[in-house]
A = this chain, B = another copy of it.
Amino acid sequence: MDNFKFYVPTDIRFGKDRLADELPEALNVYGKNVLLVYGGGSIKKNGLYNQVIDLLGKNQNIVVELSGVEPNPRIETVRRGVSLCREHQVDVILAVGGGSTIDCAKVVAAGFYSEEDPWAIILGRKGYQGEALPIVTILTLAATGSEMNAGAVISNLATNQKLGVGGPSMIPKVSFLDPANTFTVPTYQTAAGSADILSHLFESYFNVTPGTDVQDFVSEGLMRAVIKNCPIALKSPDNYDARANLMWASSLALNGLTRNGKHGVWSCHAMEHELSAFYDITHGIGLAILTPRWMEYVLSEQTVTKFAQFAHNVWGIKEEEPIIAAKKGIQATYDFFKTCGIPMTLPEVGIDDERFAEMAKQAVAHSTIKADAYVPLAEADVEAIYRECLTESNFV
C-alpha cells in the first residue's frame, strides 16, 4: 500500500426532507448572495427548483442563476458563471444537479479567484492550489461522485478537449443527498450513472499496487451494491432504498476510499473522454461500451489473478480455473450493462471508425496511460479497443 492522504471534509446530509431545515443554515455561513447553478431544466419539472427558490426567498438570499449547464459542461458556461459571480458579488455557489452541474460550479468557484481565463486552470490540470468560492450542492443524479470530491471535468469543443482539474478548495462544503431527488431520473440516465459509478470502482480496482485489500474489498462491496440496486431502480424508479444505495455508492466510489494508497492512472476514462470530446456522448454510456472490451484486451497471465478475484467476489462466479473465471466475469460485466438497456456498440451511439486514430492519439496525449495505466496503452492499443466496440462482443 502506498502512502496517502485522506481528507474529505464535505458535510454529507443524506436522506429525505432535510432542505427546509438545513439548506438556509448551510448557505448563511458564507453569505446571502448565491449563484444557483443547474442544468437543462429537469429540476423545474420535478419541483425541486421551486422548492429551492422558495427556501432561498424566505431566507432573504439574493439569487443569480447560471442555468443550462451541459451534460459535458463547457468552458463557455464556466466563463459565464465567473462573470456572474464577479458582477453580483456572489458569496456562495449552490449547485443543484448531477456531476456536470457540480463540476461546472467547482471551476466557476476557482475561476472567481483567478486572473487568468478559466481554461488556464483546466490546463494546469490536477494542481489547482488557489482559493475558490464555497460550494453547497443538492445532488440529483447518482453517478460522478463530484458531490464529495475535489475534481471536475470540463469540455472545450473548440479544441476537442475534455480535461480534468482538481484542488482542495474545490471540494463542496455541504452536499445534500436526497434519494427522492433521483426518482425522476430516466432509465437511460440511471443506467449511465450506474455505469459511471462502476467504472470509477473498476479503474482503481484493476491496479498494480500490492497489498491494498481494504481498498479492493471495499470496492467489491460497492460494486455489488450497484449491481444489485441498479436493476431495482430501473424497474421501480421510486424505490427509495435502491436509489439511496446508488446515491451513497456514487459518493463513496470516488472520494478516495477505493483509490487512495494506489498509484497509476485510469484507462477507460482516458479513452472515453475522447469519445465525449469528439461526439458529445453520455459519459457513462461510453464507459460501459469500452470497459468490457478493455478488460478482455488487458487480460493476460499477469492480470488473470485479479480478474478471477473480480469474477468470484463481485459476480459470484463459481468457476475455479482462473482464466475461465476471468472471462466469465468480463462477460457478466458486459451482460449487466446490456440488461440495463445500455447500447453496447459505438455505432449505436453514432460513432464509426472514422476518427478512431485521431481519438486514440488524443487519449494517449491527454493522459499518461502509455506509461502508468494498469496495463500500459499506446495509440495502437486504444485504437484496437475502439475497434472492438464496433460490433457486439462475446467473451467466453
Contact = CB atoms under 8 A, between A and B. Distances in A.
A257 B8 CA distance: 13
A354 interface: no
A361 to B, nearest CB: 37
A261 B241 CA distance: 11
Contact of A245 (B12, B214, B229): B214
A12 B18 contact: no
By CB atoms of chain B within 10 A, which of A5, A11, A12, A248 has the most?
Answer: A248
Interface string A1-29: 11111111111111111100000000000
Interface in A35-84: none
A225 B221 contact: no
B229 A224 contact: no
A211 interface: yes
A210 B1 CA distance: 34
A224 B11 CA distance: 29
By CB atoms of chain B within 10 A, which of A6, A242, A257 has the most?
Answer: A6
A17 B2 CA distance: 12
A10 B16 CA distance: 26
Contacts of A210: 241
A15 B240 CA distance: 39
Nearest to A211: B241
A175 to B, nearest CB: 10
Contacts of A217: 220-222, 224-225
Contact of A214 (B4, B12, B18, B249): B249
B214 A222 contact: yes
A244 B13 contact: no
A18 B4 CA distance: 10
A228 interface: yes
Given A225-B213, A229-B213, A240-B211, A14 B245 contact: no
A211 B15 contact: no
Interface string A225-237: 1001100000000
Contacts of A154: none
A116 to B, nearest CB: 29
A184 interface: no
A142 to B, nearest CB: 11
A305 interface: no
A218 interface: yes
A221 B221 CA distance: 6
A229 B6 CA distance: 21
Contact of A15 (B2, B10, B13, B242): B2
A258 to B, nearest CB: 10
Given A210-B241, A214-B249, A14 B219 contact: no
A240 B10 CA distance: 30
Given A1-B245, A7-B12, 11 more contacts: A1-B244, A3-B14, A3-B18, A5-B12, A8-B8, A9-B9, A214-B222, A218-B218, A218-B222, A219-B221, A248-B261
> Which 6 A-B residue pairings sit nearest by Cβ, starting from the closest?
A3-B15, A211-B241, A217-B221, A221-B221, A6-B12, A9-B9
18 contacts: A1-B14, A1-B241, A1-B244, A4-B12, A7-B10, A7-B11, A7-B12, A210-B241, A212-B245, A213-B225, A213-B245, A214-B222, A217-B220, A218-B218, A218-B252, A219-B221, A248-B261, A252-B257
